[in-house]
Structure 1
């Protein structure tokens, strides 16, 4: 499969812009799209009034602009939904129950996702000591994730390998 010629725009939307610029560009494209779609709808209904709605041509988004809009939406969502936001909320005193409720999940899933993120951060620190979580930070995050859950949290994928009573 070959990439379309507008792949540079998609790449730029994902990696080369600060999130504030991504939001500006997303809003610009979303407004252009909404305006063009509204005009099409008004014309289709037969209620388009140039005096009221303006005479400017409002072309629909191009294929490249639709791809950019999708890429921006995904990148913004990933940025603002970043696991470090949960980490900082926990450090500020937000409870697991509150976090689970806010993100429409259950506590165990949120804790497991947080633990996976902490593990990844620790692994990152092992390769690049100026990044990620140190061993002490990782131990604190692991304790935070497990606090109040009991040993059921600590049994993840390896739980099938554990001997069963009976």
Structure 2
């Protein structure tokens, strides 16, 4: 298997990021989010959104590639919460299931936040993701929030290090 590489994302990566975004959500959140909601995710709409985000430089964005194809992405910034417990937030990190165990997640985390103090939100009950973050020094700090997912809501918990 070819090694995974990580680099800073460009506007030209918007479509690949969107494809991973939609596929990774469907893979990771099946059984945790309504199937109708996951089926409604639209790559074209996400690609347009990602193009805007990347053009405006709203966040630090990185992609993981294998054989020239994007298999994951991560974003980080100064924190979107008014009560942010740290100066840096890991806003998102997603991998295709086919990239699990490849080291891509660690490479993305390292590129996005390194070993700096940071915080992130993770879906409560997403044991795989939470175990990964715990291995990287993150622990729950007690904060929670809910996100809409179609007609349902999803509970997210905050982790900090």
TM-score, normalised with respect to structure 2: 0.23
User: Which of the two has greater helix per residue?
Assistant: 1
The higher radius of gyration belongs to: 1
Choose between structure 1 and 2 for higher RCO, CA contacts under 8 A separated by at least 6 residues. Answer: 2
User: Which of the two has greater strand per residue?
Assistant: 2
TM-score, normalised with respect to structure 1: 0.23
